[in-house]
Amino acid sequence: MKFSKIFAAATREYNDFEKFVPAPYMRKNFDCIGKAVSKAEITVCSSGFYRVFINGKEFTKGALAPYITNPDSILFYDNYDLTEDISEGKNVVSFILGNGMMNAPGGSVWEFEKAPWRGAPAVAFSLEITYSDGTTSEINADSDIKVHPSPIHMDDLRMGEFYDARAEIDGWNLPGFCDDDWDNAILVTPPRGEMRLTQAEPIKTYRVVEPVSIRKGKLNIDFTARDRTAPKVIVPEDELPSEGWIYDFGINSAGIPKLRIKGEAGQKVVLQMCEHMEKDGSLCLYNISFQPYGLYQRMVYILKGGEEEIHLPSFTYYGFRYCFVSGITEEQATPSLLEYHLMSSNVSRISDFSCSDETANKLFEMTLNSDLSNFYYFLTDCPHREKNGWTGDAALSSEQVLMHFTADNSFCDWIRLVGKAMRDDGALPGIVPTGTWGFSWGNGPAWDAALTYLPYYMIKYRNDTSCAKAASAYIMRYLNYLWSKRKPNGLLEFGLGDWCPSGHINGFMPSPLVFTDSVISMDIADKAACIFDKLGMAPQKAFALELASSIRASIRKHLIDFGTMSAAGNCQTSQAMAIFYDVFEPGEKPAAFARLKEYIAQKDDHMAVGILGARVIFRVLGDFGEADLAYKMITRPDFPSYGNWIKRGATSLWEDFRREFTNEEKGETSKNHHFFGDISAWFISYICGIRVNPNMDTTDNVDIMPCFIESIDNAHGEHVLPRGKLSVSWERQGEKIVMTVVKPGNVYGYIRLPVGYKFDDTTAFRSLASGTYTIVKYDCHLPYEDLSE
C-alpha cells in the first residue's frame, strides 16, 4: 500500500456563487497484456470527494469519500482490493470528483471560501499490480489522465447538487471508450496534510423511507431573518417557485432523496429540502439557511428524456423531513417519485432501551435519530444549516454516543483533526475541520473539552487508549493554554457558556460564564489526569492534578456562597454543575442539593438550563434519590421540556427549548441537534441502572443501580460491553418488582438497590450475577426492628 502525493485535477477553476464548474469525469487507461494478475490494490485520496471505478465497476466505500477534512491538516486515503477485477488486456481506472471541503463556498458564514487551500478538487492514487510471474507495476496520477465535464453541473456539501442528465456519456468509465477528444489532466501542488489511511466508518444508507403524504403546497421564500453575510446571487426564475408538491417523509433526519421519473428531455425538476412547516402548512427555510434561496439544501435535475430515469446525488447530503418538489406534472407527483435514503457513518448499534411510557421510548429513538443524522465521519451540530464539527456538541454527546454506537474509529480520526487544528499557543477553534474561523468566537473550555472528553470516554466505555495516545500531546499543550488564560483570581472566562438556555430566546444565560468556564476547565484537567495515568505519563498527570486542584480552590473561594450553599448564578445549571463536578465537598452536597431542589421548585418543576446544565442536572437528581423528579422534568408535556417537543410533533431532538412562534415571528431554530441527548444515556444508566466502569478501572466492572420510576410499569435496557451484551429488565408485578439481569462472563460488580427497596431476603446490595430477582418496596423511615414487616 502506497500513499501517492501526485495530485491531478481537471482544471484550476472552481465553483463560486456566480459561476459553476462541473464535477469532472477522469479516466486513466492501462494495459495488462499477456500477464495474469495475482494481486492488485489501489490506494486513493481526493482533496475533495471522489467516486472510483475499475472497468466500469464502482468500488467507492460510501458517500463523501474519503473524508470531510481540512486537506492541509490530514489527507485521508482509502484502499481497495482489485485483484478479481483487473483484466488481462485493456483496463481503465475512472473517477468523478466532488468539491468536498477543497471548495466549499456554501460554508461562507464560516469563511470556507477564504480557506488557504481552496481550489478545484484533485485526485491522487497508487494502483499496484503484482503479476503471476512475480513482476510488478505501479500506476499513479499523471497528465495522461483524460478529463471531461460530467453531468454534475454544481456540487457543494451545503448547497446541494445540480445535475443535467443530458450531459451523461454512455460508457465513459469502460475500457475501449474513445476519449481522444477529452482534455488532459493537469498536475497540481499537493495539499500539505499528513497522509493517513482512513479508519473512520464509511457513510452508508441504513434505511429507506417512503413518503407518508403528498399534497400541493407552498414554500415561503422570505429570507430576511437569516440573510447574514450571504452573497447576492442570481437564480433562474424557474428554480424559485413558491408553489409545488410537498412530500412528507414522517421523520426529520439526514440523507439524500432518490428521484425516479420519466418525462421529456429538458424538463427541470427542483427539489428543496426543508424541516420546518409553518402553522399555515407552508414550508420554509429561514430556520436552517445561511445562504440565498436557490443555493441551499436543494437538488436540481434536468431530464434527458426517454426511459425512466433514476438519480441520487453524489457529493452532498441534506437534513430534512419535507421535500418541496416543483417542475413536475400532477401525473408525476406519485409516491414512487421519491425515496428518502437515510445515511450516516456506518456505526453499529450497541444499546437499547424501552419502557411502558411511550414518551420516553420516543425520546430515546429521537436521540438515536439525531445522533445518526449528525454522524458524517464525525459528530456535526446539524445536518442542514451548518454540517460543522462543532467541538462543544461532540463534547456534550461523546458519552451517550459511545453508549449507543461503535464510534471508536470515527472518534479517533476526528480527534487527530482536532489536534492538527490547534494553534501553537494551545488554542482550539470551535469547529473542526476549519480554515481560520472559530478562534475568536465559538470556542472556550466547554467546547474545547472535546479534545479530552472523547479520549476519556473511549477509555471508560471501551478500555481503548488509542484515541488518548493520539491526543495526549495536544491535551498537555491545552492544559498549559488554560493555565495561561487564568485571571489573577485563578478563574477562567472566555468563549461560550451554557448555550441555548431553556425558555430564553434572547440568549440570556443565568449561569455566569466565569463559573461554567472555570468548572469545565477543572473537569478537563481532572479527566486529563486520568488519561495521563492510563498512559503512564506521571509528570503530565501531576501537572493536570495541580491545575484541577488550583482551579477548584479558586472556584470555592470566589464563586461559592457557603452561607446558602449555592453556586454563582443562583440557578439550576450552576448548582447542578457544582454538585456533579465535585466543587462541593461530600459533606456539603446534601445542603447544596436541597438548594438545587429549591431552584427547580421555583420553576414549577421545569428545567431551566442550557446545554451544560442539561448534561448534568438529571444525573445529579438521580444520584440524590430524585430520579422521579428528573423523569417528570424530562417527559412532562408542557413547555419547556423534552416531552413538549413530542407534543409539537418532533421526531428528532431540537436545538433549543423555545416556545411556539407565529409565521411572522420567525423564531424557530434547527430541529435536528444531538447535544441535548444525554437523556438517552440517563434512561439506560439510571432507569435500568447500567453503570459501566464506575471507577475507571476496566469495562469488566459494571454496577447495576436501577431507579424504579413510579410512573413506569416496566423498563428494559442493554449495552454491549467489550465482553458482550449486558441487559437489565424490570417489571412491576403487584406489590413486587421482578428484575432480570444478564451479564457476560468475566464482568463483575454489584447490584445496588435505591433507598426504600430491598431484595426478598431483606438485603439491598449483592454481587453482580445473572439471574432474576424479586424486589419489594418498604418504608425506609420505619424503626430498624420493623424493616422485616
pLDDT tens-digit map of 267-290: 999 999 999 999 899 998 888 877
Please check whether residue 125 is in contact with residue 142, taking contact to mean a CB–CB distance below 8 angstroms.
no
**Model pLDDT, residue 290:** 75
User: For 451-508, how does the pLDDT look when each residue is reduced to its tens digit (9 = 90+)?
Assistant: 999 999 999 999 999 999 999 999 999 999 999 999 999 999 999 999 999 976 555 7
Q: How does pLDDT run across 12-58, given as a tens digit for each residue?
A: 999 888 889 999 999 999 999 888 999 999 999 999 999 999 999 99
Report the alpha-carbon distance of residue 84 to residue 38 in Å, rounded. 9
Sign of CA dihedral 292, 293, 297, 300: negative
Q: Which residues contact 551 (CB under 8 A, 6 or more apart)?
A: 486, 490, 491, 492, 518, 521, 522, 525
Burial of residue 316, with CB atoms counted within 10 A of its CB: 0-12 exposed, 13-18 middle, 19 or more buried: buried
The helix, strand and coil proportions of the chain, stated in percent and rounded to the nearest 5, come to 25, 30, 45
Residue 565's φ and ψ, nearest 5 degrees, are: 55, 50
pLDDT score, position 222: 59
**Rounded CA separation 778/342 (Å):** 48
* Residues 98 and 23 sit within 8 Å (Cβ to Cβ): yes
What local confidence, expressed as pLDDT, does residue 289 receive? 77
Q: Which residue type, as a one-letter code, is found at position 52?
A: V
Side-chain half-sphere exposure of 423, counting CA atoms within 13 A: 16
- Going by DSSP bridges, is the β-strand pair 74-81/194-197 parallel, antiparallel, or unpaired? parallel
Question: 3-state DSSP call for residue 688?
Answer: coil
Nearest alpha carbon to residue 578 among 525, 493, 519: 519
Distance separating alpha carbons of residues 729 and 741, to the nearest angstrom: 7
Residue 50 phi, psi (nearest 5): -145, 160
Determine the Cα–Cα distance for residues 268 and 166; give it in Å rounded to an integer: 11
In the prediction, which pLDDT does 493 show?
98
Residue 425 grid cell: 499557543
Supply the pTM of this predicted model.
0.96
Q: Which three cell numbers stand for residue 170?
A: 454512455
pLDDT of residue 503: 74
Per-residue confidence (pLDDT) for residue 26, from 0 to 100? 98
Q: Which cell numbers in the block locate residue 94?
A: 475512472
Q: Can you list the residues of the chain whose pLDDT is less than 70?
A: 222-235, 237, 292-294, 504-507, 662-666, 781-789
pLDDT single digits (tens) 61-89:
999 999 999 999 999 999 999 999 999 99
The answer to whether residues 543 and 479 touch, using CB atoms and an 8 Å cutoff, is yes
Computed over its alpha carbons, how large is the radius of gyration of the chain? 28
